Chain A
């Protein structure tokens, strides 16, 4: 069996990549991909922990979170499409009517 530490390491690396992407990317869709990375790194954690526990709560939690991530992507893409129709771009640096 693969040791638990490796799973947690993989999840942490994924989370870090997601965070890095969130800070450096400007494109709305890329940001949503980074958010998916963050959510899925938590799912890896949940499933890995669950495999080492006597209960399957973690796997159930991961299933719920996958469903919610899908719903979130739906709402997110709807907002991005509406943005694109109005601004003609989803480069988030150009969308800055409000500051401070």
Chain B
């Protein structure tokens, strides 16, 4: 048999085989943690190369009876997931070396494959299976260190995650009932809007299911506890990977299958986005635990990204503007491209910030028993762990949206698209929120740079330093040379929103 036409999917195939291999080898060999870590890193780099070789795929290529589509959008998300996973694996090389490390890396790879499947799915069944593969792996990862906090975090994540999948599945079952097919394009052409209330109920269930994963208020209750309690490197994977998977799925389902109901979901997302960013930022100001601050900031960022849905729903069909570089681009496309850029930027910044907290926790927990993520442990970090402190400084500025960083550029495109599509109130609210978010970011920075050191200088594990420096370079590079990334995001947006 000839498998050469499956070439665009070799990245997923490689990672799946590697993950199974790691489980097998890990059970046969003793003390293989380090080797497994290097194997996973090599596999992820190879998968990144395979996905990258089909990066600018011109026309969507369909596989497996039109259930998997490889197009610019799927490749964009796959690169985000692979980069996040690679950074987490590099950082984990310094932490997970002993017994059980093989399971840790295998679960990380399975979660990555699940997210990649979701990014490519154009059928409800594959979407659900990919979603569950990623979720089940991350439930287990969240409990990995088996401390009291880990298990509480995993339990909350598991209960809320399963309920959200059940909501999603119920919504999918109603969509199938109305359209008679699980294919997104068939559902789109089935004029679901004619079903009236049934269509709205299906929409409600689907949005609720996705919003749990995206951690939009009021579906966010699990997120702060889980991000605080899970192992820090797993929190990085959850905030940067798993959450973005929710967005990938929501873009596919809402913008393709349920485009006919856009007047309904645009309003729902306008309210969700406004509440989410305001509540996320306000709640973050009161926290003393740095990972909890990052969790609430992650909720607020999800609120910003959700503006993308509002812009697309509101501005769909509006005439293109030439305000951006003279190339005609419609406001809806601009909104989706902005959301994608912010997803890319936020994935990098949040991975970096959580790896930074992992570094601080690893320095502190050896000495005393108090909460390793408490902000008092960050006092004078610049003289205790200079590389970590400097990288954290860049991430905090990037998260607040200060140029020239990836965070600034994504926000700039997204907020301007909101203004072009007549959503000035939302853009103003988002900018005010960005200003408010400076309160807690500057608080962390002032602890790191202005306070007296809380202890002596500490060794910085190599894996963390490499991951932090790589992330910092990526965040700054996107901020300094945004043109190529902007073009890429516009091309990805054009998959769902042709001119």
A-side residues, CB < 8 A to B, are: 8, 11, 15, 18, 22, 28, 31-32, 35, 38-39, 41-43, 45-46, 48-50, 53-55, 57-58, 60-61, 64-65, 68, 71-72, 75-76, 78-80, 82-83, 86-87, 92, 95-98, 100
How far does the alpha carbon of A14 sit from the alpha carbon of B158 in the complex, in Å? 21
Contact B170 A79 (CB under 8 A): no
**Chain B residues whose CB sits within 8 angstroms of the CB of A58 once the complex forms:** 173, 176-177, 182
Contact A49 B151 (CB under 8 A): no
Contact B139 A61 (CB under 8 A): no
Q: How many residues of chain B have a CB within 8 Å of chain A?
A: 40
Q: Which residue of B lies closest to A34 (CB)?
A: B163
Contact A68 B159 (CB under 8 A): no
Contact B159 A31 (CB under 8 A): yes
How far does the alpha carbon of A71 sit from the alpha carbon of B125 in the complex, in Å? 16
Q: A15-B170, A38-B166, A41-B170 are in contact. Are A82 and B146 (CB under 8 A)?
A: yes
**Chain B residues whose CB sits within 8 angstroms of the CB of A98 once the complex forms:** 149, 152-153, 224-225, 228-229
Q: Which of B129, B177, B181 has the most CB of A within 10 A?
A: B177
Contact B177 A35 (CB under 8 A): no
Q: Which of B139, B180, B181 has the most CB of A within 10 A?
A: B180
Contact B149 A97 (CB under 8 A): yes
> Restricting to B107-155, which residues have a CB under 8 Å from any CB of A?
124-125, 128-129, 132, 136, 139-140, 143, 146, 148-149, 151-155
**Chain A: interface secondary structure?**
helix
Of A28, A48, A71, which is within 8 A of B155 by CB? A28
B-side residues, CB < 8 A to A, are: 124-125, 128-129, 132, 136, 139-140, 143, 146, 148-149, 151-155, 158-159, 162-163, 165-167, 169-170, 172-174, 176-177, 180-182, 224-225, 228-229, 283, 286
Of B136, B140, B151, which is within 8 A of A83 by CB? B151
Contact B143 A49 (CB under 8 A): no
Contact A95 B169 (CB under 8 A): no
Contact A92 B132 (CB under 8 A): no
Contact B125 A64 (CB under 8 A): yes
A61 CB to nearest B CB, Å: 5
Q: A61-B125, A64-B129, A76-B162 are in contact. Are A49 and B173 (CB under 8 A)?
A: yes
Contact B162 A72 (CB under 8 A): yes
B389 CB to nearest A CB, Å: 26
A64 CB to nearest B CB, Å: 6
A44 CB to nearest B CB, Å: 8
Contact B151 A45 (CB under 8 A): no
Q: Which of A75, A92, A100 has the most CB of B within 10 A?
A: A75
A99 CB to nearest B CB, Å: 8
Known pairs A18-B166, A45-B173, A76-B139. 6 more at Cβ < 8 A?
A22-B163, A35-B163, A49-B180, A61-B182, A71-B136, A78-B140
How far does the alpha carbon of A15 sit from the alpha carbon of B173 in the complex, in Å? 13
**Chain A residues whose CB sits within 8 angstroms of the CB of B162 once the complex forms:** 32, 35, 39, 72, 76
B414 CB to nearest A CB, Å: 29
Contact A64 B180 (CB under 8 A): no
Q: A45-B174, A58-B173, A79-B143 are in contact. Are A35 and B166 (CB under 8 A)?
A: yes
**Chain A residues whose CB sits within 8 angstroms of the CB of B224 once the complex forms:** 98, 100
How far does the alpha carbon of A55 sit from the alpha carbon of B181 in the complex, in Å? 8
A24 CB to nearest B CB, Å: 14
**Chain B residues whose CB sits within 8 angstroms of the CB of A82 once the complex forms:** 143, 146, 151
**Chain A residues whose CB sits within 8 angstroms of the CB of B129 once the complex forms:** 64, 68
Contact A65 B169 (CB under 8 A): yes
**Chain A residues whose CB sits within 8 angstroms of the CB of B143 once the complex forms:** 78-79, 82
Contact B180 A55 (CB under 8 A): yes
How far does the alpha carbon of A53 sit from the alpha carbon of B176 in the complex, in Å? 10
A5 CB to nearest B CB, Å: 11
**Chain B residues whose CB sits within 8 angstroms of the CB of A95 once the complex forms:** 151-152, 155
A3 CB to nearest B CB, Å: 14
Q: Which residue of A lies closest to B135 (CB)?
A: A72
Contact A68 B128 (CB under 8 A): yes
**Chain B residues whose CB sits within 8 angstroms of the CB of A46 once the complex forms:** 173, 176
11 A–B pairs (Cβ distance < 8 Å), ordered by A = A35-B166, A38-B166, A39-B165, A42-B166, A49-B173, A55-B180, A61-B128, A61-B173, A71-B132, A78-B140, A87-B151
How far does the alpha carbon of A22 sit from the alpha carbon of B212 in the complex, in Å? 16
How far does the alpha carbon of A38 sit from the alpha carbon of B180 in the complex, in Å? 22
**Chain A residues whose CB sits within 8 angstroms of the CB of B225 once the complex forms:** 98
Of A39, A49, A55, A78, which is within 8 A of B166 by CB? A39
Q: Which residue of B lies closest to A31 (CB)?
A: B159
